[in-house]
């Protein structure tokens, strides 16, 4: 069912479209599992309405008394889950909301405001699952709410992906110990403490940079790395790059970049593909595979006059940039 229609049905089902004479908090849940499609509407006025459509059958409607204090606590708990970053991005427009693999929630405030939230079932977060169980206890059949069988197969990440994701913070730490620094803010020049960012098990990111000696006369070459893992996408990746202002610095900068990749992977018990290291040292644009990874390299010419225009310590266009992307082989199309 499309998200807009689904949420409209949720909000207008049962008690929620009736005129309210006193402020009220309302929780609206849509979920699909082996027992069918369920719409649960819980109010702090002490009522609950449930619409269940079992597989191949007509909709069944029930009304229940519901402890008001319990409803208030659950409304607060769900709101806190979102504040703690456990909600997923809400699909927009006519995107499919996938109630078979997500808990779809609307929190209606006492002022009439509505907050739409999506919580993944496939991630099996204990806090989320416990809250949804407490919300629906006594309202849904045994085994509900849950994941419809087979719904999360496409979201199960191979162990190799999780193993690489776990190594990214280690690589970030080792590079910092070798003198790599988080990029400075462009306005005030201040650097973050670590260059790392986390988001409640859904996102990891590390961004660092390190300059290397150059022949000049312009800005010294700058090496950069961006490591990221966003759950729900293809998996973790590492992007290395070299920013080069003077052509005379290119060979040394690319050699330093290749050394960084080789030693960095070795530090986390992995082997950088030999064809990748060769492509980096030679400044070649290439796609390939090796040692369990897919990779792509790209040399981009930007401004041939950059060396004379941008002095060391200044900002300005580079002469050329060389980018390297590395992912697990078969995770993306980088090796095709």
**pLDDT tens digits for 116-141?**
999 999 888 899 999 999 999 999 99
- pLDDT surpassing 70 at residue 93: no
Query: 95 and 222: one domain?
Result: no
Residue 183: the pLDDT is: 87
Cis peptide before 76 (omega within 30 of 0): no
Residue 92: the pLDDT is: 52
Q: Which two tokens stand for residue 130?
A: 């416990």
Residue 156: the pLDDT is: 58
Query: 178 and 138: one domain?
Result: no
pLDDT band at 91, cuts 50/70/90?
low
Residue 33: the pLDDT is: 92
* Mean pLDDT of the residues in the chain: 83
Residue 18: the pLDDT is: 44
Mean pLDDT over residues 259-271, rounded? Answer: 89
Q: Which one of 126, 154, 182 terminates a domain?
A: 154
Query: 124 and 219: one domain?
Result: no
Q: Return the minimum-mean-pLDDT range out of 17-21, 56-60, 161-165, 291-295.
A: 17-21
Residue 201: the pLDDT is: 58
Report the share of the chain in percent with pLDDT over 70: 82
Query: 199 and 317: one domain?
Result: yes
Q: In what order do the strands lie in the sheet with 203-211?
A: 196-199, 203-211, 222-230, 237-244, 320-328, 293-301, 286-290
Asked whether residue 334 is assigned to any structural domain, the reply reads no
Report the share of the chain in percent with pLDDT over 90: 51
Give dist(CA 2, CA 23) in Å, integer.
Answer: 30
More confident residue, 301 or 232: 301
Q: Return the minimum-mean-pLDDT range out of 49-63, 163-177, 183-197, 274-288.
A: 183-197
Query: 227 and 243: one domain?
Result: yes
DSSP state of 22: S
Query: 16 and 150: one domain?
Result: yes
Cis peptide before 30 (omega within 30 of 0): no
pTM across the whole model: 0.54
Exposed e or buried b for every residue in 274-307, given b needs 16+ CB within 10 A?
A: ebbbebbeebeebbbbbeebbbbbebeeeeeebb
pLDDT by residue (tens digit) across 291-300?
778 889 999 9
Q: Which two tokens stand for residue 155?
A: 């979201």
Query: 281 and 318: one domain?
Result: yes
Q: Which CATH number characterizes residue 20's domain? A: 3.30.1560
Asked whether residue 336 is assigned to any structural domain, the reply reads no
Residue 14: the pLDDT is: 43
Query: 148 and 11: one domain?
Result: yes
Q: Which one of 109, 126, 154 terminates a domain?
A: 154
- pLDDT surpassing 90 at residue 112: no
Query: 317 and 196: one domain?
Result: yes
- In the block, tokens 């996102």 appear at 203
Asked whether residue 131 is assigned to any structural domain, the reply reads yes
Residue 29: the pLDDT is: 95
pLDDT by residue (tens digit) across 199-237?
655 678 899 999 999 888 889 999 999 998 876 555 688
**Residue among 142, 139, 141, 106 nearest 27 (CA):** 106
Query: 139 and 185: one domain?
Result: no
Query: 145 and 198: one domain?
Result: no
Q: Which domain holds residue 323?
A: 159-328
Give dist(CA 78, CA 127) in Å, integer.
Answer: 10
Q: How many other C-beta atoms lie within 10 A of the C-beta of residue 156?
A: 9
Mean pLDDT over residues 34-57, rounded? Answer: 93
326: exposed, middle or buried (C-beta count within 10 Å: 0-12, 13-18, 19+)?
A: buried
Mean pLDDT over residues 57-67, rounded? Answer: 92
Give dist(CA 146, CA 196) in Å, integer.
Answer: 34
Residue 298: the pLDDT is: 94
Q: Which one of 125, 154, 183 terminates a domain?
A: 154
pLDDT band at 74, cuts 50/70/90?
very high
pLDDT band at 157, cuts 50/70/90?
low
Mean pLDDT over residues 252-281, rounded? Answer: 92
Asked whether residue 335 is assigned to any structural domain, the reply reads no
Query: 26 and 174: one domain?
Result: no
Structural domains in the chain (count): 2
Asked whether residue 56 is assigned to any structural domain, the reply reads yes
């Amino acid at each position: 069912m499309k998200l807009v229609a689904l949420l409209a049905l949720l909000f207008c089902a049962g008690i929620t479209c009736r005129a309210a004479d006193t402020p009220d908090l309302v929780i609206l849940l849509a979920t699909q599992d082996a027992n069918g499609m369920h719409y649960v509407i819980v109010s702090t006025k002490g009522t609950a309405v449930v619409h269940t459509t079992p597989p191949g059958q007509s909709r069944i409607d029930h009304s229940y008394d519901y402890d008001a204090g319990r409803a208030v606590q659950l409304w607060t708990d769900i709101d806190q889950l979102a504040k703690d970053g456990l909600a997923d991005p809400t699909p927009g427009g006519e995107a499919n909301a996938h109630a078979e693999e997500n808990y779809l929630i609307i929190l209606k405030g006492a002022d009439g405001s509505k907050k739409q939230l999506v919580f993944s079932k496939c991630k099996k977060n204990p806090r989320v699952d416990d809250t949804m169980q407490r919300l629906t206890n006594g309202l849904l059949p045994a085994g509900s709410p849950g994941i419809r069988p087979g719904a999360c197969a496409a979201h199960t990440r191979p162990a190799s992906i999780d193993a690489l994701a776990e190594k990214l913070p280690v690589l970030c730490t080792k590079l910092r110990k070798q003198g790599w620094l988080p990029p400075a803010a462009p306005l005030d020049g201040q650097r973050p403490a670590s260059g790392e960012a986390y988001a409640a098990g859904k996102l990891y990111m590390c961004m660092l940079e390190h300059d290397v000696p150059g022949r000049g006369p312009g800005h010294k070459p700058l090496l950069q790395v961006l490591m990221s893992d966003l759950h729900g996408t293809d998996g973790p990746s590492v992007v290395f790059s070299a920013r080069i202002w003077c052509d005379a610095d290119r060979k040394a900068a690319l050699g330093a970049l290749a050394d960084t990749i080789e030693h960095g992977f070795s530090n986390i018990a992995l082997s950088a593909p030999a064809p990748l290291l060769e492509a980096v040292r030679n400044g070649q644009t290439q796609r390939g595979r090796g040692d369990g990874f897919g990779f792509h390299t790209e040399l981009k010419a930007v401004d041939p006059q950059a060396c004379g225009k941008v002095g060391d310590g200044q900002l300005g266009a580079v002469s050329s940039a060389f980018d390297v992307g590395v992912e697990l082989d078969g995770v993306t199309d980088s090796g095709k």
